[in-house]
Amino acid sequence: MSQVGRTLAIIKPDSVARGIAGEIVSAIEQAGFRIRGMRMLRLNRERAEGFYAVHRGKPFFAGLVEFMTEGPVVVLALEREDAILKWRELMGATNPANAAEGTLRRRFGTSIQRNCVHGSDAHETARFELGYFFSEAELG
């Protein structure tokens, strides 16, 4: 039985710089998500390292932090039935070349790292990630 849940989405710096954040937000709404919170911000190194701490020590960590701090991002708290699963379906595979037709990463991603969006991968991750950017009072 599906239930209403929440997940975090990030429109990455490459998408913001290319002026496609609005198209991505539109696709999110058309897919049946309710936007419970949204803000544009620029991550500093400390904030990016904290958010991606689970990847510390991995070969791609430094490059990921560098990329995520190169310009503004849009963070969104999304809500709908099966939010995590449905968001991951809309995002598509991490590598845009392997993503299904119509997914955001297939449409807008240019590489594995510059794949336009981020999304929580599990309920525990979503709780942490949502709390990293939004207070409970902001999300209602």
Report, as residue numbers or ranges, the catalytic residues.
118
Q: Which residue has the tokens 């991490």?
A: 94
Q: Are strands 117-119 and 73-81 parallel, antiparallel or unpaired?
A: unpaired
Instruction: For 96, list phi and psi in degrees, rounded to 5.
Output: -55, -30
Provide CB contacts within 8 A for 81, sequence distance 6+. 2, 3, 4, 5
SS3 60: coil
Q: Tokens representing 37?
A: 């919170």
Q: 120: how many CB neighbours lie within 10 A of its CB?
A: 23
Provide CB contacts within 8 A for 24, sequence distance 6+. 11, 15, 104, 108, 116, 117
